Amino acid sequence: MENWSREAEKIMIERFGRDTLLALATTENGVPSVRNVNAYYEDGAFYIITYALSNKMRQIESNPTVAITGEWFTAHGKGVNLGYFGKEENRVIAEKLRHVFAAWIDNGHNNFEDQNTILLRVDLTDGVLFSHGTRYEFGEPGGAVSRIWKGSLIAAFRALPIPGLEELKELHELKGSFINLEYPLPGGQRVRLWDDNQIYLGNQLHKKGCDRCYGIAADDKYLMVSEYGENGSDAELVLFQRWASRYRIKGLGKNEVAEVFALCAQNTTFYQYHPPFVTEESILEDMQALPPGKEPSDKAYVGFYEESRLVAVLDLIFDYPQKDTAYIGFFMMDMGYQGRGIGTAIISECAAALAGAGMKKLRLAIDKGNPQSEAFWSKNGFVKTGEEIPNDHSAYVPMERELFE
């Protein structure tokens, strides 16, 4: 979810990461309908077992926008029909729901032989959560930043030389107590590596050629891979290692405008080819600017920090100008860090992260005649497309780079 702090996500998992009774509202011809549903929360969405021919699914098919409310929480979302509960694509979440809904799932209310017994996922788009007098909101720009962060972790896991590890495609936010298995150490001791009360990114993948699974988990410092049997039995630690980008990635907003201005104002050559000269007002406008057809959740306006110093700024749009293409609208380095290969290292890390996030291509446009821009992006694998797009001052020259997983 966009602009959702880890603290708020922890509250969501504690409050709704179990069998929870919620009110779900749908509309038909402008008339709302509300019913109670049993739901389970995970990674920005609620999961519900329901019937494909029910009124709510008929209404969601014609208008997927729904409202949902629970304990000191209200939100809007998009209803997504995931299809038959028992199909292979739903296996992982279905196993979780069998555990979460164990008190009633087999009481005869559900017929799991019926292909119309389906999973409904409600992807949350905006909402408000209250906890101990604190109000948490989501729905502002920032979701794209999470995609970059997850993509970085996915790329790191994919690079590990672990036999039989299936390709990792997604990471979910999981509570520590859900993944905190006990592992034997060579000296005979047994250890748990995570904090039960913290939130981590992880997934479960089948080990090729056998009936065991790999469990993967990570935070902002460590990657872990474990191997285990059914229900976490006979768990073994495969890998636990430190990882981190040299630079901390942070979504930028109005509170960082002055920092961004100080960085950009050093780069006078860029603005000779790309007038007018930068101002704090133009930076704030750029932070909010979107191309046609895109939403705030598609945009990442991020900074790369070395400790407390802003080193680089990147403006990125996901799935633009077409699906699976990430568009770099702006990238600028602190002058003190230029000429040392740092910009190339950042772009290389971003490319790996975006490939991990499912992007197939990077695209951007340089100002015609700017030798610094052309040299930098050419060095980083970008090639001119042959197009030129006229503007008020000269023209933009598009360049592209293929991404490989």
DSSP states along 9-72: HHHHHHHHSSSEEEEEEEEETTEEEEEEEEEEEETTEEEEEEETTSHHHHHHHH--EEEEEETT
Q: What is the pLDDT of residue 207?
A: 93
> Across the chain, what does the average pLDDT equal?
91
What is the chain's alpha carbon radius of gyration, rounded to the nearest angstrom? 24
Q: Which tens digits make up the pLDDT trace of 336-388?
A: 999 999 999 999 999 999 999 999 999 999 999 999 999 999 999 999 999 99
Residue spans of the domains in the chain: they are: 6-139, 144-242, 248-402
How far CA 236 is from CA of 84, 186, 187, 225, 233, in Å, comes to 34, 11, 14, 9, 9
Superfamily of domain 6-139: Electron Transport, Fmn-binding Protein; Chain A (2.30.110.10)
Least confident of 1-10, 78-87, 191-200, 316-325: 1-10
Q: What is the pLDDT of residue 251?
A: 83
Class of domain 248-402: alpha beta
Distance between start and end Cα atoms, the chain: 25
Tell me, what amino acid is at 292? P
pTM more than 0.75: no
Number of neighbours of residue 393 by Cβ within 10 angstroms: 13
Average pLDDT over residues 29-34: 90
Helix axes 143-158, 342-356, angle to 10 degrees: 90
Q: What is the pLDDT of residue 111?
A: 93
Q: What is the pLDDT of residue 126?
A: 81
Q: Which tens digits make up the pLDDT trace of 100-147?
A: 999 999 988 899 999 999 999 998 888 889 888 777 776 544 467 778
Q: Which tens digits make up the pLDDT trace of 218-269?
A: 987 899 999 999 989 999 999 999 886 778 888 888 878 999 999 999 999 9
Q: What is the pLDDT of residue 3?
A: 47
CA 376 to chain centre: 28
* 120 touches 171 (CB < 8 A): no
5: confidence class by pLDDT, cuts 50, 70, 90: low
Average pLDDT over residues 14-41: 94
Residues 6+ apart with CB under 8 A from 356: 150, 151, 152, 153, 154, 155, 158, 405
Q: What is the pLDDT of residue 6?
A: 66
